[in-house]
Amino acid sequence: MNGESEPKPKTESARGNARVALSAEVERALHEGRAVVALESTILCHGLPFPANLETHRAAEEAVRRAGAVPALVAVVDGVPRAGFSPAEVESLARAGRSVRKATTRDLGLLAARRESGATTVAATMAIASAAGIRVFATGGIGGVHRGVSETFDVSADLLELSRTRVAVVASGAKAVLDLPKTLEALETLGVPVLGFGTFEFPAFWIRGSGLPLEVCCDDADEVARVVLAHWSWPGAGGVLVANPVPSEAALERQDVEEAIERSLAAAREAGIAGKAVTPYLLARLAEETGGRTLAANRALVVSNATVAAKIAVALAPGGARR
Ligand code: PSU
Ligand code: MN
């Protein structure tokens, strides 16, 4: 023994000792305590068709940079969980689309053991971001409690992950195809604070408001950062959901989509679509049903969420904005 002990595995943020491979830029930003924003890959590979997925992702990365943070796309490649991809790698993931399997938290070990690739959902992205020391994550909408849950038992693992993993997730609420009242109830049960970003109403993804009230409205990123830090001062506290409505210019009205949603849900049932295939199926079907208007709204809200997330990341970062 020379008195020097083995470096301890990082267990503060990681529940285990899984390692996340970081791009040089993300690694440097984290090392210097600068703002980093995680972005998920399920929306890239399953949520939007090519090339709208690639364009939307590029716009989100740009928005993150403009607001002073470093974007870190999260995905699993050949079994390795990674944060931060080159533009060429992003493009090849976007082109690969659905051939990359959709991966949630429970799949991470499996992918590693089998050296397979996965497009990470909100849940899996949170787990990887947290293990890497990334505290803020921007997405479109979280998964939640599905309509018809009493028959299907379909509740997204995103909710469970939000309950236990310390990442602030900026999203435009949850997709309107879900049962939003039950999703909000579940978030309360799971101890997840839901902070309206400039709103007292839970957003419904492509629609600005769901009609469901929120108790908390934060007016700016600094206020969100203060609440998030105070929440994390409690042992056992997990994630925080920051609910940012779709920008008005791109928003759809409830009556524009509700019928299309009902038709899509019926089509999914008839086609026997179940489990993890449900969300991608509904998103694709709705894009068709609305003549692409859901796609335009989806793009606008992802970019807006990226901007808000970057501002929160800057407010939380001890080293401030990116250089
Ligand atoms: N929001 C989008 N597009 C998406 C999703 C959310 O705008 O593709 C994805 C997210 O990755 C989310 C997942 O975690 O859908 C939820 O899937 P499920 O309902 O199977 O848990
Ligand atoms: Mn599900």
**Residue 322 counted as domain residue:** no
How many domains would you assign to the chain? 1
**Residue 116 counted as domain residue:** yes
**Residue 321 counted as domain residue:** no
**Residue 70 counted as domain residue:** yes
Residue nearest to atom 20 of ligand 1 (CA): 276
Position 182 scores a pLDDT of 98
- Is the distance from the beta carbon of residue 157 to the nearest atom of ligand 1 less than 6 Å? yes
Q: How confident is the model at residue 322 (pLDDT cuts 50, 70, 90)?
A: confident
- Is the distance from the beta carbon of residue 282 to the nearest atom of ligand 1 less than 6 Å? no
**Residue 23 counted as domain residue:** yes
> Using one digit for the tens of pLDDT, what is the confidence trace for 145-187?
999 999 999 999 999 999 999 999 999 999 889 999 999 999 9
Query: What's the CA-to-centroid distance between 142 and ligand 1, angstroms?
Result: 6
**Residue 253 counted as domain residue:** yes
> Using one digit for the tens of pLDDT, what is the confidence trace for 80-128?
999 999 999 999 999 999 999 999 999 999 999 999 999 999 999 999 9
Position 201 scores a pLDDT of 98
Domain with 211 in it: 8-316
Q: Is 8 a catalytic residue?
A: no
> Using one digit for the tens of pLDDT, what is the confidence trace for 126-146?
999 999 999 999 999 999 999
107 and 79 Cβ atoms separated by less than 8 Å: no
Residue nearest to atom 5 of ligand 1 (CA): 43
Position 3 scores a pLDDT of 46
Query: What's the CA-to-centroid distance between 66 and ligand 2, angstroms?
Result: 34
Q: Is 175 a catalytic residue?
A: yes
